[in-house]
Chain A
Amino acid sequence: MDEIEGKIPEEAPECNQEVEDKKITEILAGDKKQEHREPDDKRLVALSQKGDKAAFEGLVRMYSKYVYTNAFFMLRDAHEAEDVSQEVFVKVYLSIKNFRGLSSFKTWLRKLTINTCIDKLRIKSKTADKKVSLEAFEENYDIVFTDLNHNTERNFIARETIKEVLGVIVNLEESYRIPLILRDFQDYSYREIAILIKKPIGTVKTNIHRARKIIKDKLKYEKEKKI
């Protein structure tokens, strides 16, 4: 496993410093493994294109959580995220022979996931927009951190703040959430977002700016509440 669970035990963090340090070492080791991921997935893609099922299963194990996470943030529904993950991998399985590798496999998979999610959102746009409470979000989902620095105290604060940020994002209105995720998490350009969600580029920019402001204000409010 190249990921370490980010859930923090209830006890004070300094009591578990040794465990924490071990975790960080493993996280860093995980990051190094991730650096070697690209050649690995190229080999697996090449083998999958020749019909090697075990190689394709390797790709599934490598990227299933990545696809699931992207789908979850787009759709904020665990079951739909699961359905989309399965659909995406079936599409990939059926068409991998036609993948020419002009972009990386991860990029291809990510864009395919986003396109599938956008299609789903278009279908369910008439249904009620559900909200996920921050508590439920933290209780029901294990958040795995793959990028943290050495300082344990800072790590703890960062993890808590990231959880808060994710909680706010998950609860944003769709018109704010989707452009923000596409821009900040998926690195889409404003132009690409405008085409995908069929909105003018100016609206996209405004909504992203407003979404960031909402997150900033909520974090500020939470900070003041704690003090």
Chain B
Amino acid sequence: MADIDKYMKMAKKVVIKPEDHSIEDKIIERISSVKESDKSLLDGNFMDYLKKSNSRLYLFSEGIKNNPGRFILVLMSIFAVLALIVFIFRKNAQLCRKPENGRKNPEAD
């Protein structure tokens, strides 16, 4: 299967040339003759796609749904960093308190 994956990766970058090699000119010609009636191509499906592709929230939620593992990993990393910060903060606070106690005792004596 590893070989297949290698060739599939290479095949992914292949481009097929049209038979008559003039696809660009045909498209440009088609665009130059766009009429009002062509707006019917922008049907419900297309408008829905356009709306979704312009929504940050939708793209973000799709990203999570398509790759939940990565999202969980990111959440866990954030949680780990936060836990580390809290731990360091508490440790520092403890270290600050200890010498104060130490100093108070001789003063009391």
- Report A's interface with B, CB cutoff 8 A: 3, 5-6, 53, 56-57, 60-61, 64-66, 68-69, 72-73, 78, 81-82, 85-87, 89-91, 93-95, 98-100, 102-103, 108, 111-112, 115, 119, 140-148, 158, 161-162, 165-166, 169, 184-185, 189, 191-192, 212, 215-216, 219
Contacts and interface: CB of A to CB of B under 8 A. Distances in A.
A185 B10 CA distance: 10
Given A60-B28, A86-B26, A111-B49, A191 B65 contact: yes
A91 B31 CA distance: 10
Given A61-B24, A158-B10, A91 B17 contact: no
A99 to B, nearest CB: 8
A161 B16 contact: no
B50 interface: yes
Given A185-B11, A219-B4, A95 B50 contact: yes
Contacts of B19: 78, 140-141
29 contacts: A57-B31, A64-B27, A65-B23, A65-B24, A68-B16, A69-B14, A72-B16, A86-B27, A86-B30, A89-B27, A93-B31, A93-B34, A98-B50, A98-B54, A99-B50, A102-B53, A103-B59, A111-B49, A111-B53, A115-B49, A141-B16, A143-B15, A144-B15, A145-B14, A162-B14, A184-B8, A189-B67, A191-B65, A219-B4
Nearest to A159: B10
Nearest to B32: A53
Interface in B11-64: 11-19, 23-24, 26-28, 30-32, 34, 38-39, 41-42, 45-46, 49-50, 53-56, 59, 62
A165 B8 contact: yes
Contacts of A61: 24
A125 B11 CA distance: 26
B11 A162 contact: yes
B101 interface: no
Nearest to B59: A102
Contact of B27 (A60, A146, A161, A184): A60
A102 B54 contact: yes
Interface string B70-103: 0000000000000000000000000000000000
B13 A142 contact: no
B1 interface: yes
Contact of B18 (A73, A82, A89, A161): A82
Nearest to B55: A102
Given A100-B54, A103-B59, A111-B49, A60 B31 contact: yes
